Every structure is written in structure tokens, then in C-alpha cells.
Amino acid sequence: MRSIFQFRDHREFLKEFYEFQKRSRSGYSYRSFSDAAGIQSPNYLKLVIDGKRKLLSHNIFQFARAMNLGFSEGEYFEAMVNFTQSTSVDEKKYHSLRLKNLSANFGQQKVLSTQYAVLSAWYMPAVLVCLGEKDCTIELICNMTGITQETANNAVEHLLKLGVVEKNGDRFLVTGKHLDVRAKNGSNTIIDTFLQKQLERSLNAFQNRKKTNAKFFSHTFSIDSESYDLFIDHIRSFVDATAQKAQSLNTEKVVQLNIQYFPIKT
């Protein structure tokens, strides 16, 4: 499904949202939407999509809640409703400008949303790896990651919603390279939190290494200051080559490779 920031008419967005939910969730209906929104009328969404009902202020909040829109998405949805339902030229101009301002940072918002989706939990990259397989199913995801069916369903639905993954019939398509996580200079809370969680999982794997067959290696060596960055490039090349090698292998399990490289004196 397309991002909300690619729409200018809330009715078109609502129609695409509903059709996407119908394809993705068994038994989803207009009543399902009304229940999630806290609206008594079971077909209110259809009436809005067909242009037979307008959305009032409190309805906008209810609709945003039913669609699990974030704060920025909710703001854009409200502006889109006001723009579509405006009757005067001045109102149209005002809400059109607001839509433009809210979507100005869409590219950055999309990057951050995608990054957060992929790194929001330790299992999300593993789910993404599974979705890249030819015949991926929820059962396969559960078997390869150890997460519950409910968690797997929620993860896939979230990735689909953000466009990180697309579905074509029974096949999933990962839309880009989202699995290479590298901390950069400066602070990035999303990446920092994810890498810290991976360190915690590394410790857990170390403590249970006889059961999990996890392998740990450590090497201490000396270099000159000018070579420090050269070794970073060497490590990156190694990670890239490892990922490329994995692409040619049959999939039986999902594994995690974490690398730490730092001066002993801090």
C-alpha cells in the first residue's frame, strides 16, 4: 500500500486502505473498521468513500485510530480531509499549503519510518530475511525465528503497511536493502537502541552457546592511527561478501552476525 503522503484525497486513501486490509486480513469488513474506530454505523466507511458522508472533527480522530496512524500521518490525514471537504477557494488554498508543508519532509519521514520498522524489535530483521524467501509463510517465519504467530502476523502487516515489503499474490517482495545496520558518527537513537539490544542477545547466546552452537571470536592487535579507518573498510567488505555468499545458499535458519571494533583505550 502507498504511503498516506502520496494522497491528496482522503476518500482515495481510505479506499486503498480498505482494499489492502481486505487482501491482507481474513474476514476484514466495513464493520471491522467501524468497530476499530468506535463508530456504531457498520458501513460508515463505505459512505465516506462513496462521497455520501462527510467526516466531522471527532470522526477524523476515530478514523486515524482505526488505521493506527502515527502523529505525522494523523496530521496529514486531517489536513487531507479538510482540503477535500473545503468549499471555498481560500479554504482550498490554505489546506493545500498545509498538505504541501506536511509532506515536504516525506522522504525523510519515510526513511525514519522504514528504519524504525526494521529496527523496532530484534526479530524484525529476521522476519524480513524470511520474507525474502521464495515460499515464505507465517509458519516458516515462526519456525525460523521462534516468535509467536501473532507476533509474526503483526510484524508482516507493519512492514507491508510501510511499503518495506510488497505482496504479489502469495509471494512477498522486499523493496530494498534494509538489513545492513551500521552505527555512524553522531547519534541515531533508533540504530543505537537496536545495536544495544543485539549486544544483549549476543550475551544471551554466549551464555547458551552449547545449546545454540553460537560461535564467538576475539582478537587484540595493534595498528597505527592512519590504518584505523582502513580496517573499517576491510570489515565492511567482509560483511558485504558474507551477505553476498548467503544469497546463494539454501535457507534453513536465520543467523546473526555482530561485529565490534574499537580502541582498547577509551
Cα–Cα distance, 149 to 140 (Å, whole number): 10
- What is residue 204's predicted lDDT score, i.e. its pLDDT? 92
Nearest Cα to Cα of residue 157 among 135, 138, 180, 179: 138
**Amino acid in position 28:** Y
Q: Are 63 and 14 in contact (CB under 8 A)?
A: yes
User: Can you give the pTM of this predicted structure?
Assistant: 0.52
Strand segments (E) across the chain: 165-168, 171-174
Cα–Cα distance, 204 to 78 (Å, whole number): 45
Cα–Cα distance, 66 to 32 (Å, whole number): 9
Cα–Cα distance, 176 to 171 (Å, whole number): 16
Q: What is the pLDDT along the chain (266 residues), one digit of tens a residue?
A: 677 888 899 999 999 999 988 887 788 999 999 999 999 999 999 999 999 999 988 899 999 999 988 778 888 999 999 999 999 999 999 989 988 888 776 555 555 556 666 777 888 888 988 888 777 889 989 999 999 999 999 889 888 877 778 887 777 877 655 455 655 554 566 677 778 888 998 999 999 998 888 999 999 999 998 888 889 888 988 988 887 788 777 777 889 999 999 999 87
Q: Is the dihedral of CA 32, 37, 40, 41 positive or negative?
A: negative
Torsion of CA 97, 99, 102, 107, to 10 degrees: -110
Q: Rounded to whole angstroms, what are the CA distances from 239 to 55, 90, 123, 220, 232?
A: 51, 56, 20, 19, 11
Nearest Cα to Cα of residue 47 among 29, 64, 30, 67: 30
Residue 227's Cβ-side half-sphere holds a number of Cα atoms within 13 Å equal to 4
- What is residue 190's predicted lDDT score, i.e. its pLDDT? 67
- What is residue 178's predicted lDDT score, i.e. its pLDDT? 46
Torsion of CA 266, 209, 252, 183, to 10 degrees: -10
Cα–Cα distance, 160 to 20 (Å, whole number): 9
* β-pair partners for 168: 171
Cα–Cα distance, 189 to 193 (Å, whole number): 6
Q: Are 102 and 80 in contact (CB under 8 A)?
A: no
Q: Are 115 and 191 in contact (CB under 8 A)?
A: yes
- Which value, in Å, is the radius of gyration of the alpha carbons in the chain? 23
